[in-house]
Amino acid sequence: MKARAALLATCVIFSACTVVKIGKGDTNTIQHDGGAEEANNLANRACRRAGGQAAEIISTVNKDPSLPPGTGKQVTTFRCGSAAGR
Residue 15 has pLDDT above 50, yes or no: no
Distance CA 60, CA 53 (A): 20
Containing 33, the helix (H) or strand (E) segment is: strand 27-33
Start-end of H helices in 1-86:
2-13, 36-49
Q: Where in the sequence is the domain holding 12, given as residue range(s)?
A: 2-82
pTM tops 0.85 = no
Distance CA 85, CA 78 (A): 16
Residue 7 has pLDDT above 60, yes or no: no
**Residue type at position 85:** G
State how many domains the chain has: 1
pLDDT band at residue 77, thresholds of 50, 70 and 90? very high
**Higher per-residue confidence, 53 vs 83:** 53
Quick: pLDDT tens for 18-67: 666 666 678 889 999 888 888 999 999 988 888 888 999 999 999 999 98
